Structure 1
């Protein structure tokens, strides 16, 4: 899908990630969530989680999964955002959503999530999109609610002690399932 460019901006295009994209996508996800670079946007988890957000193996698994895909948004051939889409029966799972920090807050996220929803309806015919968000991320949850997602109250414990998901800086982390009818 191509979208009309904003004044002074080039067109945004979407494609499915390949193995060759893995290093760039790891950097994109890390920059959106962890470390100093993430503080340039509003989705940073740097104050609640240290360490990695993902690694090459995790991204490679998403890219290669037969039940899913990694959607990449590009501007001038450069990846500026991505998201994981996974087919789970009547629903699709939306995860690993990242927008380059210097582009956050300009409406790009809305375009990407709309394209993700369109994609899963078209390719899998699903009726719902599911995602999990850390419960203390109230501003992020509110953003998703404005896009039609609803909180379910269904919680999953944060995997404390598993540094593949980061090093928690607080003891009250859990994931909540958010759902949207498509």
Structure 2
């Protein structure tokens, strides 16, 4: 796959909410997600996010939703939230047709720099579904380490999808900011 042109990064605005929801859904759920490697379609049905969830990030003064665009086209996004001396990194999605071309790594690097610039964050922290060995390995190649902490999956809350199995849980990952990967 050819590496895309250098992305432009910017903060999401209210008018971006529908496009962000569509991007996140396409990267993780349904048949369109199977074009990329980040799909959760074998683990979860239903939605990954919704307009209210994305709008909540935009309205939280301690959060930012970063967008990565190439030629004005939304190709990636991620959420950053200030949490003490760290920043939570989540809502990370790359257009399935662009996965594997380096955009995710560029967006992660930008998120890292923004967390330091905005809040002086010393680390990025995130959660990944424990059953996603390929995704965990991707993050570990980029300097994240498992903390040993696990968090329960929110069974019964369809805002996060409908699980197809009963053993889902999250692994907490952390890396120091400024870590090359």
TM-score, structure 2 normalization: 0.95
- Cα distance in 2 for residues equivalent to 1:12 and 1:168: 34
Q: Deviations over 1:45-70 (max 9, x none)?
A: 00100000000000000112100110
- Which of 143, 148, 167 is 1:172 aligned to? 167
Q: Deviations over 1:4-23 (max 9, x none)?
A: xx77x533100000001000
Question: Residue 141 of structure 1 aligns to a residue in which SS?
Answer: helix
Alignment of 1:41-60 (within 5 A): 41-60=36-55
Matched, 1:40 2:35: yes
- Cα distance in 2 for residues equivalent to 1:10 and 1:166: 33
> Shift in Å at residue 152 of structure 1?
1.1
Question: Residue 126 of structure 1 aligns to a residue in which SS?
Answer: coil
- Which of 55, 73, 80 is 1:78 aligned to? 73
**Partner in structure 2 of residue 138 of structure 1:** 133
Paired residues, number: 176
- Cα distance in 2 for residues equivalent to 1:164 and 1:22: 16
Matched, 1:89 2:64: no
> Shift in Å at residue 162 of structure 1?
1.0
- Cα distance in 2 for residues equivalent to 1:28 and 1:65: 21
- Cα distance in 1 for residues equivalent to 2:175 and 2:165: 29
**Partner in structure 1 of residue 157 of structure 2:** 162
Question: Residue 110 of structure 1 aligns to a residue in which SS?
Answer: helix
* Alignment RMSD: 1.1
> Shift in Å at residue 181 of structure 1?
1.0
- Cα distance in 1 for residues equivalent to 2:172 and 2:40: 18
> Shift in Å at residue 99 of structure 1?
0.0
- Cα distance in 1 for residues equivalent to 2:160 and 2:5: 35
- Cα distance in 2 for residues equivalent to 1:125 and 1:116: 12
The 8 Å contact of residues 11 and 76 in structure 1, kept in 2 or not, is answered as no
Structure 2: runs of 5+ lacking an equivalent: none
TM-score, structure 1 normalization: 0.94
